[in-house]
Structure formats: C-alpha cells, structure tokens
Structure 1
Amino acid sequence: MISVNKKESLISIIMPAYNCEKYIKEAIISVTKQTYQIWELIVIDDGSSDNTVRIVEELLNHDERIRLYINEKNQGVSATRNRGILLANGEWVAFLDSDDMWQKTKLENQMINAQKLSAEFLFTGSSYINDDGDNYQGIFEVPEKVDYWKLRTQNVISCSSVLIKKKFFENIKMEKDDMHEDYAVWLRVLKTGVFAYGINEPLLIYRISRNSKSGNKIKTIKMTYKVFRFVGINQVGSVYFMVRHIIGSLKKYRKIKIKS
C-alpha cells in the first residue's frame, strides 16, 4: 500500500442507483474488495421500484463506509450525482455506475499515479461485459494524458473510471440528462487548463447495456452534438467533432466482440 494521509486521501465514491437490483451487489462488492481502503461509498437511490434499496441496506450492515440516501422523487442521473458530490467528505471523488465494476487495484493504481504525477484528474482503460455478464474480447486503451483540445476529438474518459479532486465541482455541475452529462463536465474541467491522466489498464469493467445511453447509437450521436453546443462550440465545429467521434467509436467497437 502507498503511504497516505487519511484525511486528505479519503475517496468519496458516488453511485447513482435506479432499478438496478440485477447488478448493484456486484458493483458494491467490487468497491469493498479494493486494495485501497480509504473510501466512503455514497449510494443514492433515485426512486427505484424494485429491490435495489433492500440489497444496498443488506450490504451496508456489513460495512459502515457504505451510506445510502434516497431521493424523494426521481431526479435523473445528473442531479443525483450532484447530490452525491455535495454529501462527499473526501478530497477525491470517484464515480461508479451501479451496473459497472472495478478491478481490485483500480483506486490504488490511481492514487499511486496521482502522487507520482501530481495529478488531480485521472481515468483508466476498460474491459467490457454485456447484460448477462459475458465478457467481450478486446479492451479500450487510453492515452497517457489528454487536454481540452484532444478530448474534443474523442471522449476517452469513461465516467466509472474517473478519480478527480472534489474542488473542480465547486463551480462545475453535471447538467442535462439528454446529453452525455459527464463528457460535458470533463471538457469544462479540462478547459481550465489541467490535464487528465490515463492509466492504460482495463481497471474498469464496463457493462454495455441495450437500455443504456451508449446502447443506442443514433441517440448517442445526437447527445454528443449537444455536448459540443453546450460547452460553446459553434455549429460547424460541433458537426466536425461529432464526425470525429463517430469514426472513433467505429474503431473502438470493431475491436470488441463477445468471447465464444
């Protein structure tokens, strides 16, 4: 384990949850198995009608670092993540969607790199599974670092792979669930002049779901265009970067297929 100051190095993990009884236990267990153990997990249920809340309650009885909050009504993923950030006690914030999982060294590797590189924004590569937990061949490889200009050409930052200083959210919030709200945040953070540092290892296990935003390709193209317009890029530029994203996505998913 790396040498850390516990107060300064607490990681607050934000997990929105909505009707995810099938996956959330695996997601939470992947947190409890982390080799880096200075964390709190903030699970916020956004109006689930299934057994999501009961499953989380069972798990938090075995680990006091897990905290559960329940939205009075469905607010959407952006507002739910924003609430989690406000509730966070850590200097660092990580995000984990309730259907994704982490490899056990994910947080430790990121904290080691944060110290080594004096980094304040980090992300990792990914492996992929489908709705049933079947593995896909191929992994998503990421560059050593990206800036604002580079990230416009392809979003290489998966939300569930991010570790970032909480201070960046003092003036930047997640907004508009009808676009890729996390991508808009990464662009706005990088626009301040910082770099995001990638760990080119598949430390995130990303679930490709038929019902997710990324599962509908036409929808995700439209949402990507909205991101560019939201961060202030003109129409011509937004179309240009949207096309770049389409090309990048085709290359990305061409490498991925379910293992036989």
Structure 2
Amino acid sequence: MSLLFGVDAFTDRPFAGNPAAVCVLASPADPAWMQALAAEMNLSETAFLWPEGSAWRLRWFTPRVEVDLCGHATLASAHVLWRHLERSEPRLVFETRSGRLFATREGERIGLDFPAPAAVAATLPDEIAAALGGARPVWSGRAEDDWIVVLESAAAVRTLAPDPGRLARAPARGVVVTARDESGAYDVVSRFFAPAVGVDEDPVTGSAHARMARYWAGVLGRDRLRAYQASPRGGALELELRGDRVLLWGRAVTVWSGRVTAALG
C-alpha cells in the first residue's frame, strides 16, 4: 500500500488554490500504474515521490500524460513530507525530469527553487490567437514549451473565454495569459490553459509563474513580485527572482489522506 494525500496548494484555506494528489511510495512504480492512478484522481496533477539517496525522486502526471514540471504538486509534495512524514531537514531536494529542484520553508510558507527561463519574444501563432477569441496581445513570447500572452489589462485576463478544443491543437504545452494588476492588490494577474495535456484551465500554476518571472521582473524593474492566478478557485504566489532561478513562495492545506490499496504495477 502507498500513502495518498489530497492537498490544496498556493492557498491558506481548503477548497481554494490548486488541488493535487500526492502519492508517497517506498520505491519506484510502473509508470503505467502511476498514469492510471492519476487518471483515477482526475486532478490537474498527481505527484509520485519516493526516496532516492538523500533526495526524493518526483514525477508528475496529469490525467492523460506525464509532464516535465509542475509547481503546485511540488509544493504539495514538500508540504506532505514536512507536515505528515515529519521530515526534519530544512531543505528538500527533488530529482525530476526538469533537473534538481529544491524546497525551503519559513514558518507556514514554502519556497520552491525553480529554473526561470527567459521568455523569447515571438509572434503569437494564428491558431492560438483564434483560440483566445482573437485577443490582441501587448506582448507575446515563448518560454520553454509555453506561450506567454500579455494583455492590456487584468480585466481582459479575467474575462477571457478561450476555446479549449482549438487550444488543444496548438503547438505548446499551454498558454499563460497575463497582465499587470491595476488595482494594486498584486503586481500581476494570470490564467493558464493547457488542454493539450488534459487541463482546460489550471487553478494555480507554479511552472507558468517560473516561466514569466523574468519577463515581469524586467517590465516592473524589481525582483520580488506578488502574483494572483485568477482562475475560479484562485491562488496567490510571491515570486523572488534570483538570476536564472526563481523562488515561488506559497502555502498549502491538506484536505484528505488515505492509502492506495490497488496493487503497484
């Protein structure tokens, strides 16, 4: 049997932020079994972790595919290790398909040390613009396998109604739509759409913020930013840019816990 937890990430209260399932294993499992469990969970991500030397191997699955990077499920995994497995180390090390990642904590806050790739300006493909309802970006570019689309206002981000079917055919993992927050409550707002990997709209996306951190730091002229992902559930993050890496700060809340009784593959 394996331990299984349901955690809401990037929030300080249950039923908000981004839910992830975290499955703690004693040793590696068959990827087909992990994919089947992720489909059973039917959340944007299910994380699987097991000890590997002094670190933890961490893999992430949507209901349809394994992905290279997921911020909220990493935050949820760190929360589980510190809160429920009573790990005492001040910094957790995760070995992943995106390289070595780190988690630190300050009280109830958890900081994820992620790579922050530069976003390269590029003309938004017509199929993505059409899927976004003909949105006209102030700026667009690509960071790794995501497109970043900057709109003229936070209101335009909040009211956007994309076509998931058309976006699923776009040449990208997902699309980050973002803008400055004119209200002053946050520095930036965003939404993230990734129907190509089975997630029409993700509630709160750490990896998307890592990929737009350098863009917004350059535009706003500072390395510390307050961000809000304006999905129906919503969630808040703090970004702390450190060269080509970024600390993503957030909180997490456990909603349920149990055990997986189905045999490992």
With normalisation by structure 2, the TM-score equals 0.28
- Asked which structure has the greater RCO (Cα within 8 Å, sep 6+), the reply is 2
TM-score (structure 1 length as normaliser) = 0.28
Larger proportion of helix: 1
